[in-house]
A and B are shown apart, each in its own frame.
Chain A
Amino acid sequence: MNVVVASGLTKRYKNTAALDNASFRIEAGRIVGLIGPNGAGKTTALKAILGLTDFQGELSVLGLDPRKQRNKLMEQVCFIADVAVLPRWIRVSEAVDFVANTHPRFDRKKCEAFLARTKLTPDQRVKQMSKGMIVQLHLSLVMAIDARLLVLDEPTLGLDILYRKQFYQSLLEDYFDENKTIIVTTHQVEEVEHILTDLMFIRDGKIVLDADMDAVGERFAEVMVGADKAAAARALKPLDERQVFGKSIFLFDGVNRAQLEALGEIRRPSVSDLFVATMKGTYA
């Protein structure tokens, strides 16, 4: 079943195209990383999915049109947009009370159990919390909602490594299952790559890569090649080449495995290396 189906998504801000005829689908039970450089259109794509902005093209989220059926959609969709968007005046107890009484799919017991694992106290106000604590509160609220789609836009920006690790660990252990779908954008690619099931690269409003992680492993390969075979490797048109300890590391897209094995040791490229190679020249 498809959770998100987008075709021909286009959104212009004055003279720049934030989304340029982007089409993609996201299936249920996936964790999708939407990765792109600054200004590539990630946030605009998420805003379109959440019904926060108007756009051209067709988009269906959980079978609903986010432009027309937003209220209904938000019962099934949660999002954490950036860190620290909780209102500064609210207390922990007020936030829990409010969500418990306005969200039909919120489980108060669950939320309280999550909060019990943190140092947050019911009387504490958001303005007295560190960024990490605000995210803990927000995550406790969101994970207690039985939603089908969770959208995370840079959820760990500016957090220290302990909070970042804890954030993704909680999501995986206490939240994610085959009925839920998560879309996450982040610049800290290293931290999410082992939890992603799907990878989407976006550049200048276009989807330039859309594949599941297994397919990525089959399609892309990194080979460390000695100086003697470098010319042969270059003949196979690598995506990227970099030098380490007098050897060259080549990144290939869709080249026959047997051919590559003759050149040297094959490794699975990291998402960040793949990202850098794909986005070459973005800011030039």
Chain B
Amino acid sequence: MKTPALNEMYWLVKREFWEHRGGFLWAPVITGGVFLLLNLMGIIAGEVIGAQHGVHFLFSDRIHILDHALSADEVARAGALMDMVMYSTSFIISIVLGFVVFFYCLGALYDDRRDRSLLFWKSLPLSDSATVLSKVVAGTLLAPVIAVVCGVVTGIAMLLLFVVALSFHGVGAWHLLAYAHPFRVIANLIGTIPLYALWALPATGWLLLCSAWARSKPFLWAAVLPAAVGAMLSWFNLIGPRVGTGWYWSDVCGRILLSVFPGSWLSAGNYQNVSNGAALNVLNLGSAYSVMGTPGFWIGTVAGLALLGGAIWLRRWRDDN
């Protein structure tokens, strides 16, 4: 009687969620909540100051666009504006997600060695490859899904907040909400997650490798080792043939440490050929996935898989004594 692999993976990922509920669930929820609270405070401050000075600078110039029937162009712009709000809340939460995933990977194969609960997990008939893989799935698929949901819910709450604030001024903007595309936003963001998981592989692989290897202070190893290599390269540059170090810092160091931050592929200069017409188009799936056309993406993926292989090997054989 063998536990089917998928069922096993489901429970392994569930275990990661139990252990890291704080980072995976509460961190994005709290970030969204704080963001909403700050906006609410901003609106109230605007209202109070506006009332004191007798001006409504918060909404004064936008009210006019609502006075007449909207043209198709204005509908599109209103929709884009509201989509932007939803993207931007997701963006803020995705920064938090980057930190969560970074430290999650760094601790995933280290914490249980430190508190010796490794000995309990190793007493169960679970393969080390499934265990390590479950941590990759939890960090780069499950956690981003939760973050996207939180981000979009926060975005919708933001829009509601603005509409309610407008309605206090006698401006009915409820009908405008119909022009937003929450499902398209969610689909775009969710659709980007597989890209994120692949893009982040060099970082998850490297961080998990350090996590499985370090006897203490995995963060120092993960960060100091690449920095030391960079310093060595710079030194070679000084005394020998100039190979440059820019490529190292962005294509090696950056990829193994920072690609856990969602959207970090956007900065990689991979999108020169995307027309700069509509900024939001860059978030569409087609253009997001065009990064897959770059060799750096695939070199990183292969390197990430190799690092993961190393992490699995260390998980199997590391003997702390």
Q: Do A and B bind each other?
A: yes
Q: Chain A interface (Cβ within 8 Å of chain B)?
A: 13, 44, 47, 50, 52-54, 70-72, 74-75, 78-82, 85-91, 94, 97-99, 101-105, 138, 142
Q: Would you call B19 and A89 a contact (CB within 8 A)?
A: yes
Q: Would you call A89 and B18 a contact (CB within 8 A)?
A: yes
Query: Which B residues are in CB contact (< 8 Å) with A79?
Result: 119, 123
Query: Which B residues are in CB contact (< 8 Å) with A88?
Result: 115, 117
B125 contacts the other chain (CB 8 A): yes
Q: Would you call A87 and B319 a contact (CB within 8 A)?
A: no
Q: Would you call B125 and A102 a contact (CB within 8 A)?
A: yes
Query: Which A residues are in CB contact (< 8 Å) with B115?
Result: 87-88
B181 contacts the other chain (CB 8 A): no
CA distance A13 to B116 in the complex (A): 20
> In the complex, how many angstroms separate the beta carbon of A14 from the nearest chain B beta carbon?
10
Closest 9 CB pairs of A and B: A87-B117, A74-B125, A81-B119, A75-B125, A85-B119, A104-B1, A101-B11, A53-B319, A85-B116
Q: Would you call B11 and A102 a contact (CB within 8 A)?
A: yes
Query: Which A residues are in CB contact (< 8 Å) with B216?
Result: none
CA distance A147 to B126 in the complex (A): 15
B8 contacts the other chain (CB 8 A): yes
Q: Would you call B123 and A74 a contact (CB within 8 A)?
A: yes
How big is chain B's contact interface, by range? 20 to 34
Which residue of B has the minimal Cβ distance to A89?
Answer: B19
B7 contacts the other chain (CB 8 A): yes
B112 contacts the other chain (CB 8 A): yes
Q: A87-B115, A102-B3 are in contact. Are A13 and B123 (CB under 8 A)?
A: no
Q: Would you call A94 and B127 a contact (CB within 8 A)?
A: no
Q: A52-B319, A81-B119, A85-B117 are in contact. Are A99 and B3 (CB under 8 A)?
A: no
B275 contacts the other chain (CB 8 A): no
Query: Which A residues are in CB contact (< 8 Å) with B321?
Result: 13, 44, 53
CA distance A44 to B116 in the complex (A): 16
A74, A78, A85 interface centre (most CB from chain B within 10 Å): A85
Contact of B116 among A47, A53, A72, A82 (CB under 8 A): A82
Could you name 8 residue pairs across A and B whose Cβ atoms are closer than 8 Å?
Answer: A47-B319, A82-B116, A85-B119, A86-B117, A89-B19, A101-B11, A102-B124, A103-B3
CA distance A102 to B10 in the complex (A): 10
B2 contacts the other chain (CB 8 A): yes
Q: A13-B321, A86-B117, A98-B11 are in contact. Are A71 and B18 (CB under 8 A)?
A: no
Q: Chain B interface (Cβ within 8 Å of chain A)?
A: 1-3, 7-8, 11-12, 14-15, 18-19, 112, 115-127, 316-317, 319, 321
> In the complex, how many angstroms separate the beta carbon of B207 from the nearest chain A beta carbon?
20
> In the complex, how many angstroms separate the beta carbon of B114 from the nearest chain A beta carbon?
11
Q: A82-B116, A88-B117, A101-B3 are in contact. Are A54 and B123 (CB under 8 A)?
A: no
> In the complex, how many angstroms separate the beta carbon of B321 from the nearest chain A beta carbon?
6
Which residue of A has the minimal Cβ distance to B2?
Answer: A104
CA distance A75 to B125 in the complex (A): 5
Query: Which B residues are in CB contact (< 8 Å) with A98?
Result: 11, 14-15
CA distance A280 to B123 in the complex (A): 35
CA distance A101 to B9 in the complex (A): 10
> In the complex, how many angstroms separate the beta carbon of B238 from the nearest chain A beta carbon?
39
Contact of B120 among A70, A72, A86 (CB under 8 A): A86
Which residue of A has the minimal Cβ distance to B22?
Answer: A89
Which residue of B has the minimal Cβ distance to A84?
Answer: B116
Q: Would you call B319 and A81 a contact (CB within 8 A)?
A: no
Q: Would you call B123 and A81 a contact (CB within 8 A)?
A: yes
> In the complex, how many angstroms separate the beta carbon of A177 from the nearest chain B beta carbon?
21
CA distance A71 to B316 in the complex (A): 11
B18, B122, B124, B316 interface centre (most CB from chain A within 10 Å): B124
Q: Would you call B18 and A52 a contact (CB within 8 A)?
A: no
> In the complex, how many angstroms separate the beta carbon of B16 from the nearest chain A beta carbon?
11
> In the complex, how many angstroms separate the beta carbon of B6 from the nearest chain A beta carbon?
12
Contact of A74 among B11, B124, B317 (CB under 8 A): B124
> In the complex, how many angstroms separate the beta carbon of A93 from the nearest chain B beta carbon?
10
CA distance A90 to B115 in the complex (A): 13
Q: Would you call A87 and B8 a contact (CB within 8 A)?
A: no
Contact of A71 among B12, B19, B125, B319 (CB under 8 A): B125
Query: Which A residues are in CB contact (< 8 Å) with B12?
Result: 102
Query: Which B residues are in CB contact (< 8 Å) with A80?
Result: 123
CA distance A280 to B19 in the complex (A): 48
Q: Would you call B120 and A87 a contact (CB within 8 A)?
A: yes
Contact of A78 among B1, B2, B123 (CB under 8 A): B123
CA distance A71 to B127 in the complex (A): 6
Q: Would you call B18 and A90 a contact (CB within 8 A)?
A: yes
Q: Would you call B119 and A102 a contact (CB within 8 A)?
A: no
Which residue of B has the minimal Cβ distance to A95?
Answer: B120
> In the complex, how many angstroms separate the beta carbon of B14 from the nearest chain A beta carbon?
8
Q: Would you call B126 and A71 a contact (CB within 8 A)?
A: yes
Query: Which A residues are in CB contact (< 8 Å) with B121?
Result: 87
> In the complex, how many angstroms separate the beta carbon of B110 from the nearest chain A beta carbon?
13
CA distance A22 to B291 in the complex (A): 58
> In the complex, how many angstroms separate the beta carbon of A212 from the nearest chain B beta carbon?
28
CA distance A85 to B127 in the complex (A): 19
Query: Which B residues are in CB contact (< 8 Å) with A72?
Result: 125
Query: A78-B123, A87-B112, A103-B124 given. 10 additional CB < 8 A pairs?
Result: A53-B321, A74-B125, A74-B126, A81-B120, A85-B117, A99-B124, A101-B11, A102-B8, A102-B12, A138-B120
CA distance A53 to B316 in the complex (A): 9
CA distance A164 to B62 in the complex (A): 76
Query: Which B residues are in CB contact (< 8 Å) with A91?
Result: 18
